[in-house]
Amino acid sequence: MNTLYDDLRASHVTQRRLCTSLVRTGAKNPAKRQQVFRELRIELAAHAAAEERYLYVPILMYDMGLNTARHALAEHHDMDELVEDLQALDPAGEAWGAKAIELAHKVRHHLQEEETKFFQLSGKLLSETRKLRLARQYRSDYERMLKAAAKRY
């Protein structure tokens, strides 16, 4: 049975793959840029919503987790703003490519920080029983949010 961290890492792999594709797709192929960007937006939206609800919020309840969870939430907000910025740009333009690189960098930084710091801290704070319950809730909400985001985007 997958743990909460296994499920989160699986989404992280998808996000990294999509970020790589996003920055490698050139301006001569704006339709492909839009397609990859749509996939990334869906993945980021579903992952962030479920992760915030079933990992960050529980960690906010611990004094030791407060600053780390706030930082992670702030990074999610920063990524949301970069996604909005990218939506407003022409996918055939150079500015779009530069903003895509900025978004990919922010996503990769966040994932690395989460995997090397946040997971360790939360792993110490949450009981094994709680982690299993949160994993089930995360999986369910993540799947629901994937469907909702796909309709929205």
Residue-level pLDDT at 100: 97
Q: What is the mean pLDDT of the chain?
A: 96
Taking only the tens place, the pLDDT of each residue in 14-42 is 999 999 999 999 999 999 999 999 999 99
Q: What is the DSSP string of 83-140?
A: HHHHHTS-TTSHHHHHHHHHHHHHHHHHHHHIIIIIHHHHHHHS-HHHHHHHHHHHHH
Q: In angstroms, rounded to a whole number, what is the distance separating the alpha carbons of residues 100 and 122?
A: 30
pTM value surpassing 0.75: yes
| The residue to which tokens 């919020």 are assigned | 57
Q: Where are the domains of the chain?
A: 4-152
